[in-house]
Amino acid sequence: MKLIFEYNESNSIHISTIRDLDDDATNGYEQLEKYTPIGLPDELLRKELSLPNVSEPTVVRHYTNISQLNYGIDIGFYPLGSCTMKYNPRVNEDIARLDGFQNLHPLSDEECCQGSLKLMWELEQKLKAITGMDAFSLQPAAGAQAELLGVMMTKAYFRQISQTQRTKIIIPDSAHGTNPATASMCRFGTITVPSDSRGNLDIDRFRQTLQNDVALVMLTNPNTLGLFEENISEISDLAHKNGTLMYCDGANMNAMLGIAKPADQGFDLVHLNLHKTFSTPHGGGGPGAGTLGVRAFLADYLPLPRVTKNDDRYVFDYAQRKSIGSVRFCYGNFGTLVRAYSYIKSLGNNIGNVSKNAILNANYLLTLLKDDFEVPFDRSCAHEFVLSSERYGDKSALYISKRLMDYGFHPPTIYFPLTVREALMIEPTETEAKETMVRFASALKDIAQELKEKPDFVKGSPHTRHIGRLDEVAAARKPNLRWTPPIHSD
């Protein structure tokens, strides 16, 4: 496929010069013509702008063509574990693009943004109801940023109560990489605790590591093995008795909507990934939104402004309290909040059906596959599960993934969590039909058979994509990370 820079055409003019909007001006635009940046001092001016000129028909065709090299939920099954690739309702795209939402400047007067403030306030109430938390910040742009906010708040809290000796965070060995990376960004040390034989956090090891230097325990529930932490209340009690706070990585909230609340499990902080649980589109890697919920004693540390309600009026509350500051410009990924709010409004009181069906689908698919792959922990799963393809040999998870593409499926998450060899982490979500899971299971079984009968063929897959296996080693050895304009001799 050509690069957009490799075209040289007559540009379609989307914005001309100064007259676009001013044909009805009785005077003025002639006066505009005398204002030109050419008058700026030479050392401030750009000498060359090597952007391509391409006609609109070509631009539209170029991006339509390259979009077709992608795979998305709209095309087929996308069981990428831990990412909750559920259907993204199209109506929410239209709603987010309503003039009043999309074209509002963030520094508008309160009087001009009552609709947006009401939406943010109500979304916060709904997230509070879903999680049992007492207050939410809608500011973080993604789960990882919410983690960062949560850990910063934890640090500020312990500074406030003069317990600065708490310099460590306990993280299970199955945790997402963001958890330890976040801890480091805030200069906390990490203590890794292994899982036990049932896939729970090893509670004896946990007890040993829980000293008075531990600020926080970061857990994912259900964990990344797709299993509910059976001892969650005991873990929380132990942590709290030690003066340690409990953080819930809510990436897997799609297993608990309407059927369990992180607050009831003893968590003090929880982040929700709106692009996962609440169906806002993943967009090829973003935008997301990572709201952070906390219990009342931490609410004063949240970023400002908070949105509050006075009678029927919604207002920004900038009262300082102990706020840690801000992690980004203004109030958050508002457009993403609109989509998540719309999703919650659609489901309303029936939101529990989401998680129940997600759990049903995952257990059904697990049942279809459990004789053909190792199941590291013999338990019912939550909304996702982890298999091991170890019996099919070294690198088999990779080969299976690539071959699945030929069957028209997106592969699951592979080699994660790190604690399971040849891991395939599969999350079907509630928006898939039974028939899809039957087809997927049958594809996996066929591939397993193929790996025995014609391993080289499988190792060379995918065979039907427009492109074969790409040379990642060469990409890193001889980095080509941008197009470079040709040097003109004139």
Partner 1 sequence: MDFIPTTDADKQEMLHQIGVKSVDELIQTLKPYLQNKLDLSRPLSELGLVNQLTILSQKNKVLKYFIGAGSYNHYIPAAVAHLILRGEFLTGYTPYQPEMSQGTLQTMYEFQSFICILTGMDVSNGSLYDGSSALAEAALLSSSYKDRKSLFVSKGLNPEYFKVLKTYSEGAGLTISNELNEDTACVIVQNPDFYGNIENLQYLSEQAHNVGALFVVCVIEPTSLAILEPPGNYGADIVVGEGQSFGLPMNFGGPYLGFIAVKNFLLKKIPGRISGMTTDSNGNRGFVLTFQAREQHIRREKAGSNITTNEALMAVASTIYLSLMGKTGLLNVAESSYARAHFLRDKLVSIGLTSLNKNPFYNEFIMQAPFGTSKRILSNLFGNGILGGYDLGDDKILICCTELNRIKDISSFVTIAKETIN
CB atoms within 10 A of CB 89: 17
Return the exposure string of 330-350: e unless at least 16 CB atoms fall within 10 Å of the residue's CB, then b: ebbbbbbbbbbbbbbeeeeee
379 binds partner 1 (CB under 8 A): yes
194 binds partner 1 (CB under 8 A): no
Query: Binding partner 1 by CB under 8 A: which of 174, 178, 223, 236?
Result: 178
Rounded to 10 degrees, the C-alpha dihedral 88/91/94/96 comes to -60
Least distance (Å) between residue 62 CB and partner 1 = 7
Distance linking the first and last C-alpha atoms of the chain: 30
Q: 63 to 82, contacts with partner 1 by CB under 8 A? A: 63-64, 66-75, 78, 80
Residue 340 contacts residue 416 (beta carbons within 8 Å): no
Give the binding range for partner 1 (CB under 8 A) out of 184-192, 208-216, 389-397, 451-459: 184-192
Q: 198 to 227, contacts with partner 1 by CB under 8 A? A: 222, 227
54 binds partner 1 (CB under 8 A): yes
Q: Please name which of 428, 466, 444 lies closest in space to residue 369, comparing C-alpha atoms.
A: 444
DSSP-H helix ranges across 224-331: 232-241, 274-277
What's the CA gap between 415 and 388, in Å, rounded? 9
Nearer to partner 1, 70 or 452 (CB): 70
DSSP summary character for residue 297: G
486 binds partner 1 (CB under 8 A): no
Residue 247 contacts residue 269 (beta carbons within 8 Å): yes
Q: 353 to 372, contacts with partner 1 by CB under 8 A? A: 353-354, 356-357, 359-361, 363-364, 367-368
Query: Binding partner 1 by CB under 8 A: which of 163, 167, 181, 452?
Result: 181
What's the CA gap between 363 and 434, in Å, rounded? 12
Q: 128 to 157, contacts with partner 1 by CB under 8 A? A: 129-130, 141-145, 147-148, 151-152, 155-156
Residue 317 contacts residue 307 (beta carbons within 8 Å): yes
Give the binding range for partner 1 (CB under 8 A) out of 236-244, 293-301, 335-343, 441-449: 335-343
Query: Binding partner 1 by CB under 8 A: which of 243, 287, 393, 455?
Result: 287
197 binds partner 1 (CB under 8 A): no
DSSP summary character for residue 262: G
Q: 456 to 485, contacts with partner 1 by CB under 8 A? A: 462, 465-472, 474-476, 479-485
Kindly state the number of chain residues that form the binding site for partner 1, as judged by CB under 8 A: 208
245 binds partner 1 (CB under 8 A): no
100 binds partner 1 (CB under 8 A): yes
Burial of residue 284 (CB within 10 Å: 0-12, 13-18, 19+) is exposed
Tokens of 387: 């298999």
Residue 315 contacts residue 116 (beta carbons within 8 Å): no
161 binds partner 1 (CB under 8 A): no
Least distance (Å) between residue 390 CB and partner 1 = 21
Query: Binding partner 1 by CB under 8 A: which of 164, 211, 283, 395?
Result: 283
431 binds partner 1 (CB under 8 A): yes
Q: 248 to 277, contacts with partner 1 by CB under 8 A? A: 255-256, 258-261, 264-265, 273, 275
Query: Binding partner 1 by CB under 8 A: which of 333, 389, 407, 423?
Result: 333
